[in-house]
């Protein structure tokens, strides 16, 4: 068993040191950062923003975004990892904030519906007892004579 774990560990180390593995990891992180920019952005604007964040050219940002195998400098990769982490933190905060808003609105809505339902049920039963003077709405010609 120990032998299998050693082989697996060696294989994982070999995969992460290859240029293709680093390019794939950088692509995944770059696309996650781009998702944080918002939806429906043109691709050129995504490249521009990514390039500005990473302090690289738009050509290099495009290569990173598409996962093209290139020699990625260490400082660019580290900046990409840093931006990825900050984007994930920001998106987590946004999700927490939206969840709080949803919970508050849901509670408010439930309370309002519960209050309206209980008040409406009491009013309906009271009006039926008094003999309401309202006529029921009937579709089509009135056939009650």
The C-alpha atoms of residue 85 and residue 81 are separated, in whole angstroms, by 6
Distances (CA, A) of 131 to 10, 122, 124, 127, 128: 85, 14, 11, 6, 5
30 falls within a domain: yes
127 falls within a domain: no
Q: What is the pLDDT of residue 131?
A: 54
The C-alpha atoms of residue 126 and residue 130 are separated, in whole angstroms, by 6
135 falls within a domain: no
66 falls within a domain: yes
Distances (CA, A) of 77 to 30, 41, 54, 64, 123: 10, 24, 9, 10, 67
126 falls within a domain: no
The band of 137, judged by pLDDT with boundaries at 50, 70 and 90, is low
107 falls within a domain: no
Domain with 89 in it: 2-98
Instruction: Transcribe 97-112 into DSSP letters.
Output: HHHHHHHHHHHHHHHH
Number of domains in the chain: 1
56 falls within a domain: yes
Q: What is the pLDDT of residue 80?
A: 95
Mean pLDDT of the chain: 80
Q: Among 46-55, 69-78, 98-107, which stretch is predicted with the lowest mean pLDDT?
A: 69-78
- 79-98 mean pLDDT: 94
């Amino acid at each position: 068993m120990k032998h299998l774990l050693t082989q697996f560990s060696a294989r994982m180390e070999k995969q992460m040191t290859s240029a293709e593995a680093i390019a794939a990891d950088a692509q995944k992180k770059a696309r996650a950062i781009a998702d944080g920019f918002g939806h429906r952005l043109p691709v050129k604007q995504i490249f521009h923003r990514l390039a500005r964040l990473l302090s690289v050219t738009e050509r290099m940002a495009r290569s990173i975004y598409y996962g093209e195998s290139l020699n990625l400098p260490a400082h660019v990769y580290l900046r990409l990892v840093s931006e990825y982490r900050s984007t994930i933190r920001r998106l987590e905060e946004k999700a927490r904030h939206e969840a709080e808003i949803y919970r508050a609105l849901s509670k408010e809505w439930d309370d309002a519906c519960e209050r309206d339902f209980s008040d409406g049920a009491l009013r309906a039963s009271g009006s039926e007892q008094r003999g309401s003077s309202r006529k029921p709405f009937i579709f089509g010609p009135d056939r009650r004579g």
